[in-house]
Amino acid sequence: MPRLLALFCLFVATTTLAAPLQVKLVYQATRNGQPFATITETFQQENERYRIESVTDGIGVYALFGKRRLLSEGEVTAQGLHPKHFEQQQGDNAKKAVSADFDWEAKTIAMNAKGKTTSVPLEDGTQDLLSYAYQFMFRHPQGAELRLAVTTGKKLRNYLYRVAEKDDRQEALSGVCKTVHLANGAKDGEEDKELWLGVEQYYLPVRISMKDENGARIEQVLTSLHVD
Structural domain boundaries in the chain = 20-158+215-227
Q: pLDDT tier at 57 (50, 70, 90 boundaries)?
A: very high
- Who wins on pLDDT, 186 or 195? 195
CA distance 137 to 16: 8
pLDDT at 11 over 50: no
Judge whether residue 19 has pLDDT over 70.
Answer: yes
Is 22 in contact with 42 (CB distance < 8 Å)?
yes
Confidence of residue 144 (pLDDT cuts 50, 70, 90): confident
Residues in a beta bridge with 77: 80
Mean pLDDT check: name the lowest of 142-151, 183-192, 204-213.
183-192
Q: Around Cβ 205, how many Cβ atoms within 10 Å?
A: 23
Per-residue pLDDT, 191? 60
Report, as an integer, the average pLDDT of 3-26: 56
Q: What pLDDT, on the 0 to 100 scale, is given for residue 15? A: 37
